């Protein structure tokens, strides 16, 4: 398993290649993603949910993270891994692979679950500390990544972009690049896992973002959490989402 | 005149810092002391947080009442919250309770202790813990309604188990 972290500001990479494991699809997977159990993540949370590391991975890797919430679970059900190595980052880039092939019936916004967030320590009164949030939802049966970013130029305090996943039942790659400031930029790439991407050609860009009220990304969580009633009622501990190859950096493009 | 202008600008800047830079952090409404019980009313609190437990649980827009709790090195504390009223504005609420760890009250505080989150209907007991010898330090007991933003009302908190002994009086003669 590759586990790589650097906190020195002089180094451009702040990487956490969470569950990447190059080599055989029959690799023996670790049992615990958290550092307390030998894994690369700062911590994990499993409440009324399941979490495992299973083979094969999603990017020619050996293993991937498997998560699901129990059917009928409470609003605080979660199955997540968390990285607390960022420190009020003025620029934060992250990328992960997600497999949604076991999730069908996404025909209502009332079925949604949070799959990723990047939070700051502080934020404006009455608003979430999340600077970037990615939820999985859908209205046509196909999954959509609903990306929400902190933006005080909006009355609501955030901007939201729904992006249909190019591979409706399979593996996609999500990457973003967030800067801090009164005229900050958020760029995102949402592609099939096999699609080659470049720094110069994001799927979309939001300019003129004001996120100075937030203190910069200081932790990131990935998995299933913050699910609404429809998700918790309809999906079971056997309808999993899979994640792999999380990486976060300060400057450089990540891509495949 | 020039100094007055500078002071006015400075006051504006400080006011801005005060409302923005530290606003996501929460402030405890009261200190919970053993042996309890305590009584409060979430209507007298404010909506300070939209997410808790490492931003892992969305709690919506209802008012929260937050206790600061100090745990000693040896602890086994369970907190049971009951809202005796009927859920509604000012009359009662469906309790969501979280026991968060962190030196400063914040939505990124973790809920890593045993059974640190729970929820239920009004007029039922909702318990978090027991803490089972969680690391000594400051914790925050968050009480709110994670459903309807308007819901708030009176509640009681009962403690089962042990917190550190509170020193009431000390003298040397």
Mean pLDDT of A1-16: 34
Confidence bin at A13 (pLDDT 50/70/90): very low
Q: What is the pLDDT of residues B32-72, one digit of tens each?
A: 999 999 999 999 999 999 999 999 999 999 999 999 999 99
Identify the burial level of A19 via C-beta atoms within 10 angstroms of its C-beta, where 0-12 means exposed, 13-18 middle and 19 or more buried: buried
B15 interfacial to chain A (CB closer than 8 Å): no
Per the document, the length of chain A is 256
A217 falls within a domain: yes
Look at A225 and B57 and tell me if their CB atoms are within 8 Å.
yes
Q: Is residue B56 part of a domain?
A: yes
pLDDT of residue B168: 54
Predicted ipTM beyond 0.90: no
Is there a domain that residue B14 lies in? Answer: no
Between B10 and A93, the higher pLDDT residue: A93
CB contact under 8 A, A127 and B24: yes
Residue A35, chain B, CB below 8 Å: the answer is no
The full DSSP string for A111-155 is S-EEEEEEEES--STTS-SEEEEEEEE-SSBS-EEEEEEE-TTST
pLDDT at residue number A110: 87
CB contact under 8 A, A125 and B51: no
Output the CA torsion sign for B65, B66, B69, B75: positive
CB atoms B58 and A75 under 8 Å: yes
A232 or A125: which carries more pLDDT confidence?
A232
* B147, pLDDT greater than 80: yes
In a domain, A151, yes or no: yes
In a domain, A9, yes or no: no
DSSP state of A36: G
Mean per-residue pLDDT for B143-168? 88
Q: Do B20 and A213 touch (CB under 8 A)?
A: yes
Number of domains in chain B: 1
- Write the DSSP string, B13-47: HHHHHHHHTTTTS---SEE--TT--EEEEGGGSB-
Whether the CB of A82 is below 8 Å from some CB of chain B: the reply is yes
Instruction: Please give the biggest Cα pair distance in chain A.
Output: 51
Cis bond upstream, residue A203 (ω within 30): no
Which residues have C-beta within 8 Å of that of residue A193, sequence separation ≥ 6?
A58, A59, A97, A167, A170, A171, A172, A173
The answer to whether A10 contacts chain B (CB < 8 Å) is no
Residue A27 confidence (pLDDT): 63
Q: Is residue B29 part of a domain?
A: yes
pLDDT at residue A8, as a whole number: 28
* Domain extent for B136: 25-162
- Structural domain contains residue B19: no
Q: Does A226 touch chain B (CB under 8 A)?
A: yes
Least CB–CB distance from B51: residue in A45, A122, A128: A128
Closest CA to B128 of B141, B138, B137: B141
Q: Using the predicted structure, report yes or no on whether residue A1 has a pLDDT greater than 70.
A: no
How far are the Cα atoms of A226, B33, B65, B98 from residue B39, in angstroms, in the given order?
29, 12, 11, 17
Asked whether residue B122 is domain-assigned, the answer is yes
Mean pLDDT for all residues in chain B: 85
Place of tokens 């952090």: B25
Does residue B165 carry a pLDDT above 70?
no
Residue A238 belongs to a domain: yes
The pTM for the full model equals 0.86
* pLDDT reported for residue A20: 41
Query: What is the C-alpha radius of gyration for chain A, rounded to an integer number of angstroms?
Result: 17
CATH number, domain with residue A216: 2.60.120.200
Residue B34 belongs to a domain: yes
Q: Which residue has the higher pLDDT, B3 or A103?
A: A103
Return the closest-CA partner of residue A241 out of A28, A97, A141. A97
In-domain check, residue A41:
yes
For residue A158, give its domain range.
35-249
Domain count, chain A: 1
Q: What is the pLDDT of residues B119-138, one digit of tens each?
A: 999 999 999 999 999 999 99
B103 touches chain A (CB under 8 A): no
CATH number of the domain to which B53 belongs:
2.60.120.380
Residue B145: inside a domain: yes
Closest CA to A20 of A250, A252, A244, A251: A244
Residue A59 lies in a domain: yes
Per-residue pLDDT of A17-45, as tens digits, reads 444 433 344 568 999 999 998 899 999 99
CB contact under 8 A, B24 and A120: yes
- The CA-based angle A126-A130-A133, given to 5 degrees, is 125
């Amino acid at each position: 398993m590759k586990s790589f972290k650097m906190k020195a500001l002089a180094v451009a990479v702040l990487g956490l290649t969470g569950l990447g494991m190059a080599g055989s699809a029959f690799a023996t997977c670790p049992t615990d993603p958290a550092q307390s159990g030998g894994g690369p993540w700062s911590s994990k949370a499993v409440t009324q949910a399941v979490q495992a590391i299973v083979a094969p991975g999603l990017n020619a890797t050996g293993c991937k993270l498997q998560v699901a919430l129990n059917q009928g679970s409470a609003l605080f059900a979660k199955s997540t891994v968390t990285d607390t190595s960022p420190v009020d980052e003025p620029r934060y880039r992250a990328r992960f692979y997600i497999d949604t092939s076991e999730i069908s019936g996404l025909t209502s916004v009332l079925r949604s679950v949070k799959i990723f967030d990047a939070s700051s320590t502080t934020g404006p009164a009455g608003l979430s500390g999340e600077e970037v949030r990615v939820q999985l939802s859908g209205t046509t049966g196909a999954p959509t990544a609903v990306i929400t970013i902190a933006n005080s130029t909006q009355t609501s305090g955030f901007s939201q972009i729904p992006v249909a996943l190019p591979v409706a039942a399979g593996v996609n790659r999500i990457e973003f690049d967030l800067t801090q400031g009164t005229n900050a930029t958020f760029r995102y790439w949402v592609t099939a896992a096999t699609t080659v991407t470049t720094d110069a050609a994001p799927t979309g860009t939001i300019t003129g973002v004001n996120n100075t009220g937030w203190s910069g990304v200081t932790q990131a969580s990935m998995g299933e959490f913050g699910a609404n009633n429809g998700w918790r009622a309809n999906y079971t501990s056997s309808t999993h989402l899979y994640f792999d190859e999380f990486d976060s950096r300060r400057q450089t493009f990540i891509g495949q | 005149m020039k100094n007055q202008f500078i002071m006015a600008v400075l006051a504006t800047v400080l006011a801005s810092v005060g409302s923005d830079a530290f606003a996501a952090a929460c402030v405890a409404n009261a200190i919970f002391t053993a042996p309890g019980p305590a009584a409060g009313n979430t209507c007298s609190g404010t909506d300070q947080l939209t997410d808790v437990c490492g931003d892992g649980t969305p709690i919506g827009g209802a008012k929260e009442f937050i206790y600061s709790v100090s745990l000693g090195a040896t602890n086994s504390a369970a907190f049971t919250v009951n809202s005796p009223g009927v859920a509604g504005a000012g009359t009662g609420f469906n309790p969501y309770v979280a026991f968060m760890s962190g030196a400063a009250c914040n939505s990124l505080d973790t809920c890593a202790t045993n059974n640190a989150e729970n929820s239920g209907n009004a007029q039922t007991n909702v318990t978090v813990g027991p803490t089972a010898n969680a690391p000594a330090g400051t914790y925050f007991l968050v009480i709110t309604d994670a459903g309807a933003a308007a819901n708030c009302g009176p509640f009681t908190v009962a403690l089962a188990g042990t917190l550190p002994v509170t020193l009431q009086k000390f003298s040397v003669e």
